[in-house]
Amino acid sequence: MNRFWGFIRKEFYHIFRDARTLIIILGIPVSQLLLFGYVVNTEVKDVKLAVYDQSKDDVTTRIINKLTSSGYFELVKNLDSDNDIEAIFKKGKIKEVLVFEPDFAEKLEREGSADIQLLADATDPNVARMVAMYTQNIINSFLKQEQPLATVPMQVNASIKMYYNEQLRSVFLFVPGLMALIMMLVSALMSSISITREKELGTMEVLLVSPLKPIHIIIGKVIPYLLIAFVDSLLIILMGNLVFNMPVNGSLLLLMGECFLFIFLSLSLGILISTVAPTQLIAMFMSMIGLMLPTLLLSGFVFPIESMPEVLQWFSAIMPARWFNEIVKNIMLKGVGFMYVWKQTFILLAMSVFIVFVSVRKFKIRLM
């Protein structure tokens, strides 16, 4: 046992001696959380607006004022001709152009209706959709305010409630996925590289002929990464809470347990990779393409799974991170207990057993 602890101590020493490794281990989670929290933001604000007002009357001026005072829009340019619209869109800054027809106020008064044309730059479809929606809402509320008498005889109003994320913070969506990504990076990628490195340098043979049992060697090599991944996940939860006010509504203990399960799964994936990959570079490519990329793209981290083609949805189902994401969202945001996550937990457990089984077999074959 003493010998085993000595071996683990040596592994820790290896990891922490290299400053670069430490930077990767601590710097990546922190910087990525900050990036996702502050920068990757789907909220739309300060939309650059241009107006082609052919009427320039009291009503159009007030509509424009209402738009610009809403906080969503910023009036950048007044256009004088139809031809300028195309040119100004092509420059790229302007996202929406509003065209008021001539004699707008007069027509509204006399004929009871007037037209606004809303041209949105739809190169980014989501932004275009939201911009158009905001504009319409603001114009509608302008109407209500201006003509209280003209209210509709019968009207259904909706009161809208946003559950689990009242302020619609994008970061709430990203924290679970980020935890999965970082744990994959530390537990699967780094551990697979560290084991493959011993193979490549020939030191694995030396260890194998030592009195340490092979299973102890593997456990000894991965324990430091298990601890680091655990610390990283705590770091993300803590930072999410302190910096972005992301709550932990459910049981923290359950959350830790699930993290532990996911780390265990990632480590077994790392070991499996290291039994297959002959060189560090190949181990790196296998983890990057086989684990990191799907975790980033197919787990529902950033992109909703329901929007993917069916084939990719199937792929997503065999990605551990997808189930882990659901678990973390459920526990942290919905505040539910084990009853709501037992299915996902069971899937992760089954995956772990399967992978451990396969890598033990592979490892034995290699030894023979």
Partner 1 sequence: MQVFLSILRKEFIQIFRDKRMLAIIILVPVVQMMVLVYAANMEVKNVDVVVVDNDLSQSSRSLANRFSGSPFFTLTGTTFNEKEAEALLKDDAADLILSIPAGFEEKLIREGNASLQLIFNAINGSAAEISAGYAQNVLLDYNAGIISETLAIERNESPGGINTVVRYWYNELLDYKHFMAPGILVILVTIIGMFLSGMNLVKEKEIGTTEQLNVTPIRKHQLIAAKLIPFWVIALFDLAFGLLIAKFLFKLPIEGSLLVLFTYAAIYLVGVLAAGLLISTFAETQQQVLFIGYFIIMIFILMGGIFTPVESMPRWAQIIDIFNPVCYFMQVIRMVLLKGSGFGDIIPQIIFSVIFGILMMAFSILKYRKRA
Q: Which of residues 142-201 bind partner 1 (CB under 8 A)?
A: 143-144, 147, 150-170, 172-173, 193
Closest Cα to residue 151, out of 139, 143, 160, 162?
143
| Least Å from the CB of residue 346 to partner 1 | 15
- How many residues interact with partner 1 (rule CB under 8 A)? 98
| Least Å from the CB of residue 350 to partner 1 | 20
Per CB under 8 A, contacts with partner 1 among 11-30 are 20, 24, 27-28
Per CB under 8 A, contacts with partner 1 among 225-254 are none
> Which of 148, 202, 211, 309: binder of partner 1 (CB under 8 A)?
309
Q: DSSP readout, 274-333?
A: HHH-SSHHHHHHHHIIIIIHHHHHTSSSSS-GGGS-HHHHHHHHT-HHHHHHHHHHIIII
Closer residue to partner 1 in complex, CB, 67/261:
67
111 phi, psi to nearest 5 deg = -100, -10
| Least Å from the CB of residue 366 to partner 1 | 23
Closer residue to partner 1 in complex, CB, 46/58:
46
Residue type, 242: L
Closer residue to partner 1 in complex, CB, 75/208:
75
What are the tokens at 175? 């924290």
What are the tokens at 59? 């009503």
Q: Does 130 bind partner 1 (CB under 8 A)?
A: yes
| Least Å from the CB of residue 6 to partner 1 | 27
d(CA 104, CA 114): 6
| Least Å from the CB of residue 283 to partner 1 | 10
Whole-number CA gyration radius for the chain: 28
Per CB under 8 A, contacts with partner 1 among 310-339 are 312, 326, 329-330, 333-334, 336
As to burial, measured by CB atoms within 10 angstroms (0-12 exposed, 13-18 middle, 19+ buried), residue 312 is middle
d(CA 325, CA 173): 9
Please identify, among the stretches 124-132, 210-218, 256-264, 351-359, the one whose residues bind partner 1 according to the rule CB under 8 A.
124-132
What are the tokens at 221? 């090599």
Closer residue to partner 1 in complex, CB, 24/234:
24
d(CA 88, CA 104): 24
x/- string (CB under 8 A) for partner 1, residues 67-106?
A: ----------------------xxxx--x-----------
x/- string (CB under 8 A) for partner 1, residues 27-56?
A: xx--xx--xx-xxxxxxxxxxx--------
Per CB under 8 A, contacts with partner 1 among 263-292 are 280-281, 284
d(CA 27, CA 32): 8
